[in-house]
Structure 1
Amino acid sequence: MPSARSRATRTQTTSRTPLTSHTPLTPRSLRAARLRRAAVGGLAATAVFLTGGCSGTAHPAKDGAAAYTVTDRTPAPAGDLDSFTWSTFAEPASIDYAQSFDYPPNQILANVCESLLRWNPDLTTSPNLAASFSNPTPTTWVYRIRPGVRFHDGTPLTADDVVASLRRNLDPAVASVWAYPFKNVKSVERSGDMEVTVTLTQPDSTFNKYLAAAPGTVESAATLAKAGKDYGNPQTGVNCTGPFSFGSWTSGQSLTLKRNDAYWNPELKARSGEVKFVFLADATTRVNAFQSGEVDGGWMVPPNAYAQLRSTQAGSLYFGRNTTVADEVVGNLKGPLGDARVRRALLMAIDRKGIVKAGAGGAGEVADSLVTDNLWSDAPAATREALLKDLPKYPYDPAAAKALAAEAGVAGQKVVIATSPLDSQTTIITQAVAQAATAIGLKPQIDSVSAEKYTALFTDPAAREGVDLFLTFWYTSITDPLDMYASLRTGAFSNYGGWSDPAYDAAVDRAVDTYDPAGHAAANAEAQRIALRELPWLPLYTQPVSVFLGKRITGVQPSIAYLYYPWAAEIGARG
């Protein structure tokens, strides 16, 4: 999966201010290369019928795609466990929350460190280390810190710890990968014994939401000061407040967490004495480890293994809520794709249903937007209904697409499609896009590069020179479409093709400035309409989160929130 969210570079940018010299690039860009290693070759179109979940939403087979079920919660545990083993596709570079913007470190830290707010598996937000919060003025957020919480070393949580933790995201010397959510922060101050006040330079409708993800992480101020630049490495680990504490880290092999028996929240007290994360880069090895029972579970199951794991006696495969859309990024607006008609024609000529069937194992849906439907949950019903009617649609129609491209006079012109041969899902998508380009009269050239060079497409403008298209899997870390649409504002670092539209920028700015749900949703909807009319990125499909649970364990709530929610605490023994 190339650049699984090569959003990986998104949060380093600002929607209002230029990229600064200290903006970090490398940690997040690592996700691009790592995610491509998460899938294996030989994807097949398979039917996926899931059982065993307590609740969920069925997606019946249609248009050649397989049936699958989105499960809200797996069966409740019958008891506790001494330990279980979990696989990740890569070893974290660090577990410093300010440098963690990748699946391996975030899924580990979600169980060790906690944020002021909590992003729940149903994609709602609730209080966490902040027992309550208020927004007395458009530029002021006040957080009441929960009393009685202790760090893993036994010291009490204080307002000073919160201040020190949040301020790290503002410190150029730290170069936090989460600088973007703090773009409008003027100050973070202790305003009471257990109170912290954040003052903004302007209203920001997403700031508070981001504090339910890694940007809101709270670490011991004393630990941060003592560890310095060694914070989060295998020798020092971390000292937070979550249901598990850092145990040990054997570089190149595994990382172990231990249950925090003094954890403050009885509802999320860990059911297992420890969790051992093993680093298995090869997808086939991971699937074999599931089958043999050597590993009890793992997120991000390779799509070509869906059928195999559906029928295994070793455990169960589940799907959950996601906020990810696979997109083809238009990286060059000076070539033939600079004409919006050609971009529309290309999207109409891509067999997106075929991609879902062959590339995503049949578990997914053709995307009509750059964001998933569940991100509009806070919008008024009238807005949600209007969105269904107002969105431009691009049904598969190669003949009409060819005619539209002919109007633009681009027949015979070359387009370069960058890819990296690290997984078959990427190969299938790239071939389908190349076929579509040929169908509308263009001459596609597939440029296959190394993982490192592919990653550079998301971090280095020079690497994108001469590249017309490249693939990303883009998810959001909050339940708000603005997390995506701010990324395409003029000057945003992740606006990789340099697309610019004044009306779009104005809509994004209104969404940022507006706290009122109706007004915020209306501004987001306007930005979405413009983006889908102009197509600076081409939406391909959405797919659910996947997770495999071996026959020993159960209890997890499948959801993209596993990157920030203490999912491992809910896993216990299967009856």
Structure 2
Amino acid sequence: MLQPPRSGLTPLSDDAFKLSRWQTAETLIVLDPNGDAQPALATEWKQTDPHTWEFIIRSGVTFHDGTPLTAERVVASLTAATKASPKPRILDGTELKITAVGDDTVKITTSDIDPLLPQRLSSPQLSILAAKAYGKNGVVDPIGAGTGPFLLTSVNGTSSAHLDRYDGYWGTKAAAPGIDADFVPDGAARAAALRTGTADLVEAIPVAQAPLLDQALVHEVPMPRTNTLYLNTEKGPFADAKNREIAAAAINRKTIVDTVYEGRADIAQGLLGPALPWAADLRQPTTAPSPGNADGASITIGTFTDRPELPEVAVQLQQQLEAAGFKVKQDVREYAQIESDALAGKFDAFILSRATVLDSGDPVAYLYSDFACDGSFNISQLCDKGVDAAIQQASETAPGPERRTAIMAAERAVLDTHAAVPMLHERVIQGEASGLSDAARDPRERQLVLPGTAVNR
């Protein structure tokens, strides 16, 4: 595993994604590849009025401590999430009232109309745990408290964790007798573990290490993460739409992919990449930028060192933009030191690796935060009525084909402003030892070990 636990494996933090990747904690809903809601601990659901949903809880499920899954237990877990400080980010700006209706039905009332509530409930941060998990002062301990095919038995600080097969699982029983998980932040060490056979399954092999491995063991998974150049539309040279077009036309995406990412990324055709399998077929034509010469316009590009490839991207962009007549300076710092300046619009351009699908599995939240007039992450300082209207239309459309079409219309509206120039879509490189079968290759990084995952030694 790439990262050690940061919050004691509480599901109310990003540690929840480890619990889901190990198949130990489960949610009411899961998502299919298109991001549509599918049954998990809830077998069915319906919207009874614009603010109210009812979920039928799966019968015959037991927690790892032997206690039964009930509607009351679901209510308690979800209520604990709503009262957490800080809240799980999937609940930001959302107020829920959660009650049990009989033994098998949970009613959830939302303060605002929320067509994405089922998708929100798929977030690993809203996993349902046994009563024993919830201690004083908001502490949540998932050991022995999940419902999945693997039972978490121990956690050794930030170094390792152990899980055993749970034979009382309600679904398909696990093929493997257990999981030994080691937390190894050093990418070279993770790659070495695959090469030497000390690990069967390895997260996030660095691009530089991948060529050193047996390529039959290396698997690239498209991520819903786009490397984008954000251009400041409010002030400076890129307040002029013509300069934005010149910059957009000057960028050679293939060179960046081939040199910085060694070909292990996808050239961007839009904001949303191949991790969303429906995006390419629904993409709407955009206005092609007109090339030109910037006549010596001076710009400053900002980016950060926390992702080591981004400073290298900045070097490539500087060369390409200078060839188009810009005078370019770079400002590269740690993310914690540069974020506030980026959000305040202190750069003419900013390079960012940005997740385009957040915890609900839906890209509307990303489009709103990054490109709406009052978006909280609007580095481009973009305020365009057409863009706002398109994003609003997408947000109000029910999940399904019509919403996806509306999302792509919003993407087109953003791209037509040339306020953001998507360059590439990242991939995660996963290592799988010879003899390993049926591991998940999940763009959302919610799954890794499946019930059928096994090693034939």
Given that residues 45 and 54 in structure 2 are in contact (C-alpha distance below 8 angstroms), is that contact kept between their aligned partners in structure 1? yes
Given that residues 311 and 332 in structure 2 are in contact (C-alpha distance below 8 angstroms), is that contact kept between their aligned partners in structure 1? no
Q: In the alignment, which residue of structure 2 is the partner of 1:92? A: 6
Q: In the alignment, which residue of structure 1 is the partner of 2:41? A: 129
Given that residues 336 and 415 in structure 1 are in contact (C-alpha distance below 8 angstroms), is that contact kept between their aligned partners in structure 2? no
Structure 1 segment 347-358 matched on structure 2, within 5 A = 347-358=248-259
Q: Which has the higher contact order (CA 8 A, sep 6+)?
A: 1
Q: In the alignment, which residue of structure 1 is the partner of 2:223? A: 322
Query: Which has more helix, going by share of residues?
Result: 1
Structure 1 segment 27-426 matched on structure 2, within 5 A = 87-100=1-14, 106-110=17-21, 111-120=23-32, 125-171=37-83, 173-180=85-92, 183-224=93-134, 226-232=135-141, 237=143, 239-266=145-172, 269-311=173-215, 316-330=217-231, 333-373=234-274, 375=276, 377=278, 387-393=282-288, 401-403=291-293, 405-406=294-295, 411-420=296-305, 423=308, 425-426=309-310
Q: Return the alpha-carbon distance in structure 1 between the equivalents of residues 26 and 6 of structure 2.
A: 18
Kindly provide the amino acid, as one letter, of the partner of residue 161 in structure 1: R
Q: Does the C-alpha gap of structure 1 residues 96 and 430 become closer, same or farther in structure 2, counting only changes over 3 Å?
A: same
Q: Return the alpha-carbon distance in structure 1 between the equivalents of residues 307 and 129 of structure 2.
A: 36
Q: In the alignment, which residue of structure 2 is the partner of 1:438? A: 322
The structure 1 segments of at least 4 consecutive aligned residues displaced by more than 6 Å after TM superposition are none
Q: Return the alpha-carbon distance in structure 2 between the equivalents of residues 166 and 535 of structure 1.
A: 41
Aligned-pair identity in percent equals 21
Q: In the alignment, which residue of structure 1 is the partner of 2:440? A: 557
Residue 461 of structure 1 deviates from its aligned partner by 5.6
Q: In the alignment, which residue of structure 1 is the partner of 2:350? A: 469
Q: Return the alpha-carbon distance in structure 1 between the equivalents of residues 277 and 288 of structure 2.
A: 18
Query: Could you list the per-position Cα deviations for residues 279-336 of structure 1 after superposition, in whole angstroms to 9, with x for gaps in the alignment?
Result: 222211221221112222212221223322244xxx6112335322222234673222
| Residue of structure 2 aligned with 1:538, choices 421, 431, 442 | 421
Given that residues 416 and 466 in structure 1 are in contact (C-alpha distance below 8 angstroms), is that contact kept between their aligned partners in structure 2? no
Q: In the alignment, which residue of structure 2 is the partner of 1:571? A: 453
Structure 2 runs not aligned, ≥5 long:
none
Given that residues 233 and 239 in structure 2 are in contact (C-alpha distance below 8 angstroms), is that contact kept between their aligned partners in structure 1? yes
Query: Could you list the per-position Cα deviations for residues 424-483 of structure 1 after superposition, in whole angstroms to 9, with x for gaps in the alignment?
Result: x223212112223322332222222235425xx1xx468756333132132414553424
Residue 92 of structure 1 deviates from its aligned partner by 3.4
Q: Equivalent residue of 1:570, what SS?
A: coil
Q: Does the C-alpha gap of structure 1 residues 105 and 289 become closer, same or farther in structure 2, counting only changes over 3 Å?
A: farther
Residue 91 of structure 1 deviates from its aligned partner by 4.1
Given that residues 303 and 311 in structure 2 are in contact (C-alpha distance below 8 angstroms), is that contact kept between their aligned partners in structure 1? no
Given that residues 84 and 138 in structure 2 are in contact (C-alpha distance below 8 angstroms), is that contact kept between their aligned partners in structure 1? no
Kindly provide the amino acid, as one letter, of the partner of residue 304 in structure 2: T
Query: Could you list the per-position Cα deviations for residues 43-102 of structure 1 after superposition, in whole angstroms to 9, with x for gaps in the alignment?
Result: xxxxxxxxxxxxxxxxxxxxxxxxxxxxxxxxxxxxxxxxxxxx32444333222211xx
Given that residues 204 and 514 in structure 1 are in contact (C-alpha distance below 8 angstroms), is that contact kept between their aligned partners in structure 2? no
Given that residues 121 and 558 in structure 1 are in contact (C-alpha distance below 8 angstroms), is that contact kept between their aligned partners in structure 2? no
Q: Equivalent residue of 1:569, what SS?
A: coil
Q: Does the C-alpha gap of structure 1 residues 553 and 523 become closer, same or farther in structure 2, counting only changes over 3 Å?
A: closer
Q: Does the C-alpha gap of structure 1 residues 375 and 141 become closer, same or farther in structure 2, counting only changes over 3 Å?
A: farther
Q: Return the alpha-carbon distance in structure 2 between the equivalents of residues 310 and 161 of structure 1.
A: 47
